[in-house]
A and B are shown apart, each in its own frame.
Chain A
Amino acid sequence: GAGVSQTPSNKVTEKGKYVELRCDPISGHTALYWYRQSLGQGPEFLIYFQGTGAADDSGLPNDRFFAVRPEGSVSTLKIQRTERGDSAVYLCASSLTGTGLAGANVLTFGAGSRLTVL
C-alpha cells in the first residue's frame, strides 16, 4: 500500500484480556518496527524485524509481549494478560532495508493503535 496501515486504530479491553495489533507495512519494505508511546513521552522501541526474523527484541518489556511476521510483510503484536500499564499508542514503522550500513535507514510510521486497558 501507499503507507503503513495499522489496525485497529482504537482498542479498549479489560485487564487480563488478550490483544492483537496488526501492522501492514509499505510493500517491499524488508524492515518493520514496533514502538510504544505513552502520553507525553517519545516513542519507546519494542522490537524490529528484518524479513521474518526478529533482529532486535530487546525492547519488549516482558514475556507477555510477543510479535510475529511470518511471511515477511504483515506483523502482529500480541499482548497477553493485559495490564492497565499497557495502555499506550502502539506505533509501527517500516523501512526499505532496515540497515544504516549501506545508507540511511528512513522509517515511515503508521498512525498507531491506541490501546486502553480498563
Chain B
Amino acid sequence: DAKTTQPPSMDCAEGRAANLPCNHSTISGNEYVYWYRQIHSQGPQYIIHGLKNNETNEMASLIITEDRKSSTLILPHATLRDTAVYYCIVGANNLFFGTGTRLTVIP
C-alpha cells in the first residue's frame, strides 16, 4: 500500500516554480523518496530521488525535511509540458504508487 499523502491537484502559472508537497510520516530508515511523473498515455517517468539530503538535477529539486516525514518537489520554471500527474513514492525493494498530484500548468 502507498505510504504517501499528496494533494489531488494543483495549478501553477507557466514560468513560475511549482512546489509539490508529499507527506510520508511512516518512512523507514532505509527507504528512499522517489518522484515520478506520468504524462497522459505514457509510462511513469523518473524525476529524482533522495534519502536524507536535498537533491537537484536537470529536471527538479527535492527538499526532504530533517525528520524525513515530508518532502517537496520543486520544478523551478514550470512549462506547459510539465502538466502531468506527479507521484511521490517511498520504498526500498518495492515501490507502491498512490494516486499522485495532478499538476496543471496554466499559460
Contact = CB atoms under 8 A, between A and B. Distances in A.
Interface of A: 4, 33, 35, 41-45, 48, 55-56, 91, 93, 98-101, 104-112
Contacts of B32: 100, 104-105
A43 B44 contact: yes
Main secondary structure of the interface of B (DSSP, over half): loop
B68 interface: no
Main secondary structure of the interface of A (DSSP, over half): loop
Contacts, number: 65
Contacts of A104: 32, 34, 49, 51
Contacts of B87: 42
Interface residues of B, number: 25
B81 to A, nearest CB: 17
Given A42-B87, A42-B97, A106-B49, A99 B43 contact: no
Interface string B44-64: 111001010000000000000
